[in-house]
Amino acid sequence: MVRRVRAVVLEARDAGWSGPPFNPITLARQIGLRVEASAAVPDARTIVDDRGPRIEYNPQQKRARARFSIAHEIAHTFFPDVGDAIRNRGGDAAIRDDWQLELLCNLGASEIVMPVGSLPKLDHVPPLERLIQDRLQFDVSTEAYLIRVVSVTDAPITMFIASPHPDGEQVGYRIDYAIASSSAPRLALGERRIPDGSIVRQANAIGATAHSIEHWPDGDPASVECVGIPGYPGSLLPRVAGLIRHGRRDLGDFLHFIHGDILAPRTIPPVIVCQLVNDRALRWGGGVARQMAKRFPKAEAEFGEWMKSKPKAERLGEVHYATTPSFTLASLVAQEGFGPSGGTRIRYQALAKAMATLADVTRHRGASLHMPRLGTGGAGGDWEVVEALIRQNFDGLDKGVWVYDLPPRQTQHSLEF
C-alpha cells in the first residue's frame, strides 16, 4: 500500500503538486476524491456514496493535525473495503479499529504530507526537541514527522504513539502503534500497556517533553524520549509520541534540554530549581522570576530580607535558598542592576561563583537541578557562555541538569476548502 501511495504522490508531483507544506486536499482533488469540511466530524472520516469516496474532516483542528487526518483518510481509499464501515479516526474508543490497518494508513499519510525526498538520510537522529522544532518548516504533525524520520535513518530507533485508556480508577497508557527503523529490533509493541512508572506519563501536556533510561521496551536499558501531542477527539488527555533509542548509549552527558514548565519541574527528587536575579531589587521583577514571585510570595519575601542583610557590594555571586512545597528554589545573584542599559547586565564571573556554590549543595543533597535558559532574557547573556559554565560546574551530576524551553509555536498554514 505504501508503494501505491508513493506512486500516486510522485505522479502528483509531476503534475505540479508542491510543498512544503504539501496540501492533501489538493492531492485528493487531483486523484478524484471529494473533501468536505464538517464541524460535526470529530476528526476525519471517509464515507462512500453513489459518487464514490467522500472525505469529511473537522476544520477546527490545528492545521498540521488536519493535514495528517485527511492524508490518513486518503490512504484508507487505497483499500477495497473502504466503504464497508465508516471509521471515525480516533472517535468512539469502544470501537476497536484494526490497528494494523490503521498503522498502514498512518504510513501512507506520512508519505503524503512528507513525500519521499522531504528529508535526507539521517546517520544520527537529533534529540526529540530538535525534531519538534525542525518539523515546523513542513507544517506537519509530530506524528507524521517522526514516521518519516525512522524511515530515513540507519540508527536503531523506534517511534511510537500511545494514548490514555481507563485502567480501573486510574488512567494507563497503551501503545497504539510503533514503527521501527531498518536497524532497530522488531518488537511486538502494538497495543502494549506501558508501565505506570514510565516517563510517558510525564508528557502530560501538549508540547511537554520528558526523557529517561527505561527497560520496558525490550528488557535492556534504552533511551525513551516523549512529547505530549493532541489527544483523540473527546479525550481530555493528550496522546504521547515517543522515540526509543536502542543499543548502547553514552549516558555520560548530564545536560538535558526539554520542553515544559519550569514552575512544574520533572519529578526527580530531591529537586532544586534555580533562577538568575539582580543585585539591586528586593523583589523579583521579570521573566521566570516574576512567575516565581506570583507562585511563591513567601519565598520572595524571604529573599528580600536576605538581600537587605547583604552589603550591596557583596551581593553578586551569592545564592539564596528558599523552600517551596515541591522543590528548593535557588536564586543566583549574577545580574548587575536592572532596566535599560548600554550593555549586558549579566556578570559571568558572579554566575560562575554562584554555580560553584550551587554545585556543592546539589551534590551534597543528591538532587536534580532544573533551570530556564539562565541569563538570556533581560540580563542579555550569551547562552553558549552560560552552558559552558554549567558544564564546568555540574559535569557528571548523577540526576542531571534539566534546561526548560517553552514548546515552539507553529505558524498556521491555510487549508483549501
User: DSSP secondary-structure letter at 395?
Assistant: T
Confidence class for position 24, pLDDT limits 50, 70, 90: very high
Confidence class for position 236, pLDDT limits 50, 70, 90: confident
User: Residue 251 has what pLDDT?
Assistant: 46
93 & 149 share domain: no
98 & 150 share domain: no
pLDDT in tens, 312-328: 999 999 999 999 999 99
Residue 2: pLDDT over 90:
no
Q: What is the mean pLDDT of residues 123-134?
A: 91
Judging by beta carbons within 10 Å of its beta carbon (0-12, 13-18, 19+), is residue 207 exposed, middle or buried? buried
Confidence class for position 91, pLDDT limits 50, 70, 90: very low
Instruction: Please count the other Cβ atoms lying within 10 Å of the Cβ belonging to residue 205.
Output: 16
198 & 222 share domain: yes
**Is residue 366 a contact partner of residue 399, using CB atoms and an 8 Å limit?**
yes
247 & 290 share domain: no
Please indicate, yes or no, if residue 413 is contained in any of the structural domains. Answer: no
Domain boundary among 78, 113, 148: 113
User: Residue 279 has what pLDDT?
Assistant: 92
Q: What is the mean pLDDT of residues 206-213?
A: 90
Judging by beta carbons within 10 Å of its beta carbon (0-12, 13-18, 19+), is residue 19 exposed, middle or buried? middle
Please indicate, yes or no, if residue 123 is contained in any of the structural domains. Answer: no
Please indicate, yes or no, if residue 142 is contained in any of the structural domains. Answer: yes
User: Residue 293 has what pLDDT?
Assistant: 93
Helices of type H across 335-408: 348-365, 383-394
Residue 54: pLDDT over 90:
yes
The CATH number of whichever domain residue 202 belongs to comes to 3.30.450
246 & 296 share domain: no
Mean pLDDT score of the chain: 86
User: Residue 93 has what pLDDT?
Assistant: 43
C-alpha cell at 206: 501538549
Percent over 70 (pLDDT), the chain: 91
Q: Which amino acid is at 408?
A: P
The answer for residues whose C-beta is within 8 angstroms of residue 261's C-beta and 6 or more apart is 205, 208, 404
288 & 368 share domain: yes
Confidence class for position 99, pLDDT limits 50, 70, 90: low
Q: What is the mean pLDDT of residues 47-72?
A: 89
The CATH number of whichever domain residue 38 belongs to comes to 1.10.10
**Residue 24 belongs to domain spanning:** 1-113
C-alpha cell at 14: 509531476
Task: State whether residue 6 is helix, strand or coil.
Answer: helix
Q: Which of 337, 345, 351 is nearest to 387 (CA)?
A: 351
User: Residue 95 has what pLDDT?
Assistant: 45
Domain boundary among 81, 113, 145: 113
Q: Strands 52-57 and 34-37: what pairing? A: parallel
Task: State whether residue 159 is helix, strand or coil.
Answer: strand
Q: Which helix (H) or strand (E) holds 275?
A: strand 271-278
232 & 293 share domain: no
Q: What is the mean pLDDT of residues 197-225?
A: 89
User: Residue 116 has what pLDDT?
Assistant: 83
Task: State whether residue 296 is helix, strand or coil.
Answer: coil
344/328: higher pLDDT: 328
- In total, the chain counts a number of residues equal to 417
Residue 342: pLDDT over 60:
yes
User: Residue 412 has what pLDDT?
Assistant: 47
385/232: higher pLDDT: 385
Confidence class for position 219, pLDDT limits 50, 70, 90: confident
Q: What is the mean pLDDT of residues 113-132?
A: 89
Longest dimension (CA), the chain: 84
User: Residue 136 has what pLDDT?
Assistant: 86
142 & 176 share domain: yes
**Is residue 33 a contact partner of residue 57, using CB atoms and an 8 Å limit?**
no
287/318: higher pLDDT: 318
324 & 376 share domain: yes
Percent over 90 (pLDDT), the chain: 46
24 & 97 share domain: yes
> Number of folded domains in the chain?
3
Confidence class for position 408, pLDDT limits 50, 70, 90: confident
Q: What is the mean pLDDT of residues 352-361?
A: 96
Residue 103: pLDDT over 90:
no
User: Residue 417 has what pLDDT?
Assistant: 39
Please indicate, yes or no, if residue 259 is contained in any of the structural domains. Answer: no
Q: What is the mean pLDDT of residues 267-283?
A: 91
Please indicate, yes or no, if residue 246 is contained in any of the structural domains. Answer: yes
Residue 97: pLDDT over 60:
no
8 & 54 share domain: yes
User: Residue 140 has what pLDDT?
Assistant: 86
User: Residue 250 has what pLDDT?
Assistant: 44
311 & 220 share domain: no
250/319: higher pLDDT: 319
Q: Which amino acid is at 53?
A: P
Q: What is the mean pLDDT of residues 350-361?
A: 96
Please indicate, yes or no, if residue 166 is contained in any of the structural domains. Answer: yes
The CATH number of whichever domain residue 366 belongs to comes to 3.40.220.10
Domain boundary among 48, 82, 113: 113
User: Residue 376 has what pLDDT?
Assistant: 86
Q: Which of 144, 188, 191 is nearest to 172 (CA)?
A: 191
Please indicate, yes or no, if residue 14 is contained in any of the structural domains. Answer: yes
Please indicate, yes or no, if residue 146 is contained in any of the structural domains. Answer: yes
pTM equals: 0.72
**Sheet containing 44-49: order of strands:** 34-37, 52-57, 44-49
